[in-house]
């Protein structure tokens, strides 16, 4: 039950990573800005010229502007703007009109009784496919001054209009700052995605590939949603399909987020059913991406509503799954939860703000909060990925260590010991150095097993390891060769050095007393010594000669050291 509750909570987070605005597909009507009163010429008036408008005879036919009603119109219409206050003095005063890109606008003012068309100074990109057309005014506006705007929609419907008065210097400075913030966020996200992709080429971990895919799509999303991407080389090609750019990238990043979460939460191992659910959710997001084509048959609103519900439900589901994974001691999932909380807080705030007001009113969230939260989430999740890779490396190192060591004594097993010996012999021969081998065999070990039990025998084997290590250098190696047989590799040691080391080991082992199995068990050992400088042999031939020396030591009374060279006499 707990796992299925987590299932419904943690699908929401992964996919809301892909949802910087759940309302992005919804149509928004933007009202007029402060400082200007906007009136609409009665649409039944028909076609009129600008001179007729400025003559004053049509003034009674103007009515308060209703953006929602005007949005339903397909034909051109006239607006009259009345300044309700004096505009701020500036070098070049401007009339700024935020609008859909397919709205064709002409603006006029009246000076000295003559109609003067306003010149377009620049265009600035805006959120959700809108942009700002900036008209240069001949002089600052005074209270009661009139401006006339002709609007001709060149397509089906439009998002809305917003009018404001500023100066060219201020407008350009604000536009440059907005462009800089979006470019920085886009560059940071793409840089992290590209770095992850390069690391994936080396490590081949799918988590890195999903990370690169997710945040490259996030970068494209914020570039197109902000409108800045339509002004950049290559990305400007998306202008031909406008709204598809952010809707499709949002859906595809939702799919990537689902695949990413099921990997970072290790659901294949801990919950195969939930793992499969995330796979189906990823497929659903891909279907939603293609479902945007339904706009052509008038079902765009239905698809948008379904998409928002899927985003919301999957985000909640993701949250639960990630939380449970974190409780399972998955630190990477914990990093994801922190990133999710940060990003989704700004995401939800942005979506709500856009539903309640226009993009200009949500400037702080759109140009600062949302992009920076994406970058912060990318950094935090990158830390989670690094944590996951570190855990994998530690697990691999631990597995390799277990594969190389004897589980009872903790020293090298026979296979690893022989491999180390061959490598040590290659190095010694290449450098012209000797190598020595000690073959250690516990005395009367079978008797200990038979009379005291195998647990006592195991305790004796473990007890002699530390005394042997006490006489070895860091470069020396010890391994378990057989039941009670151990081999020590002494690097760069000749017969003069090996003999005394073997004697010291023998004395240390003889001091060992094993308690807990009746009377204390006294342990002794016989040691055979073989060195390359006296025998001229290497590798396993050294082991064989040291083994022969051990048998000679046992025949001579045990608890002694025997040099292999003496066996040939």
Convert the pLDDT of each residue in 324-336 to its tens digit. 888 888 888 788 8
**Contact in structure between 71 and 37 (CB atoms under 8 Å):** no
Q: What are the tens digits of pLDDT across the range 150-206?
A: 988 876 555 667 888 888 888 899 889 999 999 999 999 999 999 999 999 988 888
Q: Please name the residues in contact with 409: beta carbons below 8 A apart, sequence gap of 6 or more.
A: 461, 462, 465, 480
- pLDDT above 60 for 67: yes
Residue 438 in 3-state DSSP?
Answer: strand
Q: What dihedral angle (degrees, nearest 10) is formed by the CA atoms of 171, 177, 181, 184?
A: 130
**Contact in structure between 79 and 39 (CB atoms under 8 Å):** yes
What is the Cα–Cα distance from 305 to 288, expressed in whole angstroms? 11
Looking at residue 361, its pLDDT comes to 59
Q: Closest Cα partner for 215 from 366, 22, 384? A: 384
**Contact in structure between 529 and 563 (CB atoms under 8 Å):** yes
Average pLDDT, the chain: 82
Q: What is the pTM of this model?
A: 0.69
What is the Cα–Cα distance from 558 to 524, expressed in whole angstroms? 8
Looking at residue 367, its pLDDT comes to 84
Lowest-confidence region among 66-70, 120-124, 294-298, 394-398: 294-298
Q: Select, from the ranges 46-55, 178-187, 245-254, 372-381, the one with the highest average predicted confidence (pLDDT).
A: 178-187
Section 260-275 average pLDDT: 86
Q: What are the tens digits of pLDDT across the range 477-525?
A: 899 998 889 999 998 888 999 999 999 999 999 999 988 888 888 999 9
What is the Cα–Cα distance from 75 to 81, expressed in whole angstroms? 20
Q: What percent of the chain clears pLDDT 70, i.e. is strictly above it?
A: 85
Looking at residue 294, its pLDDT comes to 63
Lowest-confidence region among 273-277, 394-398, 466-470: 394-398
Which one is predicted more confidently, 360 or 428?
Answer: 428
What is the Cα–Cα distance from 479 to 497, expressed in whole angstroms? 20
Q: Which two tokens stand for residue 213?
A: 């895919």
């Amino acid at each position: 039950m707990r796992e299925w509750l987590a299932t419904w909570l943690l699908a929401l987070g992964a996919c809301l990573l892909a949802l910087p605005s759940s309302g992005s597909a919804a149509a928004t009507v933007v009202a007029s800005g402060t400082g200007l009163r906007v009136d609409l010429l009665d649409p039944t008036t028909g076609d009129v010229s600008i001179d007729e408008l400025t003559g004053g005879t049509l003034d009674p036919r103007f009515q308060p502007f209703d953006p929602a009603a005007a949005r339903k119109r397909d034909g051109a219409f006239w607006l009259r703007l009345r300044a309700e206050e004096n505009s701020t003095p500036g070098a070049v005063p401007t009339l700024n009109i935020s609008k859909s890109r397919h709205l064709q606008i002409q603006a006029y003012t009246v000076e000295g009784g003559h109609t003067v068309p306003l010149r377009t100074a620049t265009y600035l990109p805006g959120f959700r496919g809108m942009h700002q057309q900036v008209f240069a005014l001949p002089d600052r506006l005074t209270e009661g001054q009139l401006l006339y705007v002709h609007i001709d929609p060149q397509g089906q419907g439009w998002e809305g209009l917003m009018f404001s008065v500023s100066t060219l210097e201020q407008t350009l400075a604000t536009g440059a700052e907005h462009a800089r913030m979006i470019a920085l966020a886009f560059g940071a996200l793409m840089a992290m995605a590209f770095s992850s992709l390069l690391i994936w080429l080396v490590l081949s971990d799918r988590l890195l590939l999903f990370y690169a895919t997710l945040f490259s799509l996030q970068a494209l999303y914020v570039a197109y949603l902000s409108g800045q991407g339509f002004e950049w080389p290559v990305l400007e090609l998306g202008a031909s399909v406008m709204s598809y750019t952010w809707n499709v990238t949002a859906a595809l990043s939702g799919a990537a987020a689902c695949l990413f979460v099921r990997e970072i939460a290790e659901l294949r191992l801990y919950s195969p059913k939930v793992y499969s659910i995330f796979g189906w959710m990823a497929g659903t997001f891909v279907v939603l991406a293609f479902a945007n084509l339904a706009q052509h048959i008038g079902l765009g609103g239905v698809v948008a509503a379904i998409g928002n519900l899927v985003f919301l439900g999957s985000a909640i589901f993701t949250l639960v799954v990630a939380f449970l994974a974190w409780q399972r001691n998955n630190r990477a999932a914990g990093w994801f939860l922190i990133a999710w909380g940060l990003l989704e807080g700004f995401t939800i705030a942005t979506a709500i703000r856009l539903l309640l007001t226009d993009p200009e009113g949500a400037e702080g969230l759109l140009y600062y909060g949302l992009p920076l939260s994406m970058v912060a989430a990318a950094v935090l999740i990158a830390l989670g990925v690094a944590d996951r890779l570190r855990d994998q490396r530690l697990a691999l190192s631990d597995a390799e260590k277990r594969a190389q060591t004897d589980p009872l004594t903790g020293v090298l097993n026979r296979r690893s010991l022989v491999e180390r010996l061959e490598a040590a012999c290659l190095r010694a021969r290449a450098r012209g150095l000797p190598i020595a081998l000690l073959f250690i065999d516990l005395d009367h070990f079978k008797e200990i097993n038979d009379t005291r039990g195998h647990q006592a025998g195991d305790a004796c084997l473990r007890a002699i390891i530390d005394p042997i290590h006490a006489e070895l250098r860091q470069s020396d190696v010890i391994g378990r060769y057989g039941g009670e047989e151990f081999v020590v590799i002494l690097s760069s040691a000749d017969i003069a050095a090996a003999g005394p080391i073997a004697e010291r080991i023998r004395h240390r082992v003889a001091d060992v007393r094993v308690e807990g199995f009746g009377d204390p068990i006294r342990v002794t050992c016989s040691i055979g010594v073989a060195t390359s400088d006296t025998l001229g042999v290497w590798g396993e031939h050294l082991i064989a000669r040291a083994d022969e020396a051990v048998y000679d030591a046992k025949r001579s009374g045990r608890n002694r050291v025997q040099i292999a060279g003496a066996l040939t006499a």
